[in-house]
Amino acid sequence: MTIKPLADRVVLKPCELEETTKGGIILAASAQEKPQVAEVVAVGPGGTVDGKEVKMYVKVGDKVISSKYSGTEVKMDDINYNIVRQSDILAIVE
């Protein structure tokens, strides 16, 4: 099954979290922060959204930083995804 976003939405797959600190301490899942860096796995077509023309700047495969608690979390095939508006993406990581 695939996710095909509509309008200016983007599907993100969070990057893996580090489970140990630089000092070697292993973190429990509850102590880990929600990742902000994610990989773009699908991009909507853009177009007119709320009466304004929206051009999509991100593409599949980009690594991005999104707002910490933005979007809608979806779990498909045991993989967590986050669906956000392009405006919730703060930067592209190069």
Q: What is the pLDDT of residues 7-58, one digit of tens each?
A: 999 999 998 765 666 677 665 555 455 668 999 999 999 988 888 899 999 9
Whole-number Å distance between alpha carbons of 48 and 59: 18
pTM above 0.85, yes or no: no
Decide: 3 and 83 in contact? Cβ < 8 Å.
Answer: yes
Confidence of residue 64 (pLDDT cuts 50, 70, 90): very high
What pLDDT sits at residue 19? 60
Where are the strands (E) in the chain, listed by range? 9-14, 37-43, 47-49, 52-54, 63-66, 72-76, 79-85, 89-93
Distances, alpha carbon 20 to alpha carbons 34, 38, 58, 86, 91, in Å: 15, 19, 31, 31, 26
Q: Is 3 helix (H, G, I), strand (E, B) or coil?
A: coil
Rounded average pLDDT over 65-74? 91
Place of tokens 């797959």: 13
